[in-house]
Structure 1
Amino acid sequence: MLYISDLLTKRYPTITQKLNQETQVIEIPNTNDIWIRDFMPIKNTANDWILFRYFSKYLRNSKHHSLITDNKQICNELGIAYTYCDMILDGGSVVYKDDLYFVSERIIDDNPSFSKIQILTLLEDIFKTERIIILPEAPNDFTGHLDGVLSILDNKTILLNEYNDEYANRVRNILKSHQFNIDIIPYNPYQNKTYQSAKGIYINFIKTDSTILLPIFNQKEDNLALAKIQELYPNHHIATILCNDLAKEGGLLHCVSWEV
C-alpha cells in the first residue's frame, strides 16, 4: 500500500493518476508539503515504526517553517503506532532493506550534541541491527539525502548512480570495504539548470511487491534506465512516469511516497 500527500494530487494530478493505475494509493490530508518520505516513520527490524524529529538543517530557515508537517499528528490521524525518537533524522536520509540501513552523514550535523559513536549506538538500538552504515552526502545536495544516491537490491548488491566524480569513489570505497557488490544505474543530471533539479536521477524509484514505478525525463538515458531496471527486477512490472516538472522541485517518486 502506497501513501502520498493529497497535495501531490492537487499539484501533479497526472503523476497521481498514473500511481493509482499501477498500485493501491492512499492520500494523506493535512500535510504541509508533498515530500512525505521525509517525515513519516521508518521501520526497524522488529517491524516497529520509529518516528524521528523532523527538523533537518535545510528546514531551519524561518521561510521554510511553513513546510514542516507535524508528523506525530499525521501518524495519530492515520492510526499508526510508533515509537518516538527526539533525534533529528528524515526518511530521505535513510535507505534500508531487511537489517541493512544506510544513513546519511547529515545526521551528524543535525544532531551536534551527539558524537558519531553515540549516534551509531542509538541507531543500532532503535533499529535493532548492527548493520548501520554512515555514508557521505552528495556535494551540492542541500538535503543531504541518500535516496537519490543508491538503492539496495539485495543483501549483497547495492545499486549506485553512474557517477563520474570523487564522491563516487568515496561511496564505492565504503561499500567495497563492507564487501558489497555494486551495480550501476544510468544517471544524467548534468544539463540541469540548478543543483536542486532531480531530473536524470532514475534511482529514486518506487518498488512495491510486484511493480517498479520508474521516473523518466524524455532524455536518451530513459531507455537505458528502463532496460537496466528490467534486468535487475525481472519478476516486476516496470511502469514509467514522466517526472520533469516534479524533478524541478528537487525530488522524485520515492520522495513523494511512503509504503506500508
Structure 2
Amino acid sequence: MTNTYKLLPEWVKQEAVLLAWPDKKTDWQPWLSQIRDVYLTIISTLNLANTPVILLVRQNEIESCHRLLSADTKALKVLLVAADYNDTWLRDYGFLSLSNGESVHPVEFRFNGWGEKFNADKDNEINRLALQPLCQKYIRNIGLVLEGGAIEIDQDGHLISTALCLQNPKRNGNKTLAEYKEDFASNLGATSSTIFEHGHLEGDDTDGHIDTLVRFTAANGLVIQTAFNDPEDPHFKGLHNLLLECEAAFPRHQIFELPLPNIVNNEGDRLPASYANFLISNKHILCPVYQQPEDELALDIIKSAYPNFKIIGINCLPLVQQFGSLHCITMQVPEGVLKPEILHSVSNGVFIYESA
C-alpha cells in the first residue's frame, strides 16, 4: 500500500461504530450502572442514524449483554464480539481507515497506554485478535506509537495534532515534529500537517489529544474548545493561544469557539470536560453534554458549525469521571471495511459473532 491511500475524515459514510462494553474489570466499576446507561443511549442514537454498532464484550459478559440489548424496545442493531481489553477507550487503539478513492484499507498503530501511563497490553492486541476477522482486508501494522484521538484530518488531507502529545518521549523517543509530519504523509497520506503548541485540559491523561481541542467541519471550519465564557478560568490563556494558532494556520476557515464547563469530581480534581469531543456519524453528531449551564450554548454553536447535520446531546457526565468523553470511547468504520456477512449480521438485530 502506498501513500495514495489517505486517512478518511470522520464525516464520510460509515457502516458501523466500534465500542467496548464497560464491566467490573474496567475502571468504570464505581459508576457501572450510569456508564452502561450512557452506552445504551449512544448505541440507540447511532442506530437511529443508520449506524450499526460492533460491541466488544468480554466472553463471560456476552450472554448477559445480549439479553440486556435484546430486551431493548428500540430493536437495536449490534454485533457482539468476544474480546479481552484493558479499558474501553477504543478511539485510541481501534484501527483507522484509509482510502485511495476505490477501496478502503484498515491500519493500526502501536498503543502503549498514552506514553506508558497505564497497562495496555490487551488493548494493543484488539485489532489482531478481535477485529481482523471482521475486515475484508488485512489490518496493516505501523510501528509508530500513536492514538486515534491524537490526530484529526479534513477532506483535503490536512492533518492536525498537538506537540505536547507527540513529544512525550515515552511514545516515540526523541522523534522530531518534522519526522512526525513525514510519518503522517507516508503512512496516512496527509498532504500537510499542522502541529499546535498550545492547548491542554487539566486532568487529561492523553497529553492534549486534538479531539478534545480542535475539530474540522465539513465546510472549511474549525470548532475549537476555548474558555471564552470565563476569562478567569486557568485554561483561558492556553486555549486562547491555541485559538490564535488556529487562526494563523487556517486564515480562511470559519472559527467556532466552544465554552468550557468547570467540573470537579468528589476529590476536587478538575475534569477535562470538552464539548469538542463529539462523534460524527452519517450526518448526525453525538455531542457530549455535562448537565452544566454551558450545555445549551455549546449545542447551539455546534449546530452553527454543522448546519447540515442533526445534533444530539448525550449526557456524558458519567464518562468524564474517568477523564474522557464520547469521542474517546468510539471509533467509526467507514464503508468498504467490513466483510459482507458481517454487515448482514450487524444490520439485522442483536447478534453474537461466531468465528469460523
Alignment of 1:108-187 (within 5 A): 108-109=167-168, 110-136=171-197, 138=200, 140=202, 141-144=204-207, 145-154=209-218, 156-163=220-227, 164=231, 165-178=236-249, 179=251, 180-187=253-260
Whether the 8 Å CA contact 2:278–2:286 is kept in 1: the answer is yes
Distance in 1 of aligned mates of 2:219 and 2:167: 26
Query: What amino acid sits opposite 1:101 in the alignment?
Result: L
Distance in 1 of aligned mates of 2:120 and 2:217: 35
Whether the 8 Å CA contact 2:279–2:286 is kept in 1: the answer is yes
Q: How far is 1:128 from its partner?
A: 1.2
Query: What amino acid sits opposite 2:54 in the alignment?
Result: I
Q: Deviations over 1:169-210 (max 9, x none)?
A: 432232222224321122213656324x233x2111111122
Query: What amino acid sits opposite 1:78 in the alignment?
Result: L
* Structure 2 counterpart of 1:103: 161
Query: What amino acid sits opposite 1:206 in the alignment?
Result: L
Whether the 8 Å CA contact 2:212–2:276 is kept in 1: the answer is yes
Q: How far is 1:40 from its partner?
A: 1.3
Q: How far is 1:160 from its partner?
A: 0.3
Quote the RMSD (CA, aligned, Å).
2.5
Whether the 8 Å CA contact 1:88–1:111 is kept in 2: the answer is yes
Query: Does structure 1 residue 246 correspond to structure 2 residue 311?
Result: no
If asked which structure has higher relative contact order (CA below 8 Å, sep 6+), I would say 2
Whether the 8 Å CA contact 1:44–1:126 is kept in 2: the answer is no
Whether the 8 Å CA contact 1:152–1:158 is kept in 2: the answer is yes
Q: With structure 2 as the length reference, what TM-score do the two structures score?
A: 0.65
Structure 1 residues 230 and 172: CA distance shift in structure 2, 3 A: closer
Distance in 2 of aligned mates of 1:112 and 1:95: 22
Unmatched 5+ stretches in structure 2: 1-15, 47-51, 58-82, 334-356
Query: What amino acid sits opposite 2:94 in the alignment?
Result: M
* Structure 1 counterpart of 2:143: 86
Unmatched 5+ stretches in structure 1: none
Distance in 1 of aligned mates of 2:175 and 2:38: 40
Q: How far is 1:139 from its partner?
A: 5.5
Percent identity of equivalent pairs: 18
Q: With structure 1 as the length reference, what TM-score do the two structures score?
A: 0.86
Q: How far is 1:147 from its partner?
A: 0.8
Distance in 1 of aligned mates of 2:285 and 2:245: 27
Q: How far is 1:7 from its partner?
A: 2.4
Structure 1 residues 208 and 68: CA distance shift in structure 2, 3 A: closer
Q: How far is 1:82 from its partner?
A: 2.2
Q: How far is 1:54 from its partner?
A: 0.4
Q: How many residues align?
A: 256
1:7 match: secondary structure: coil
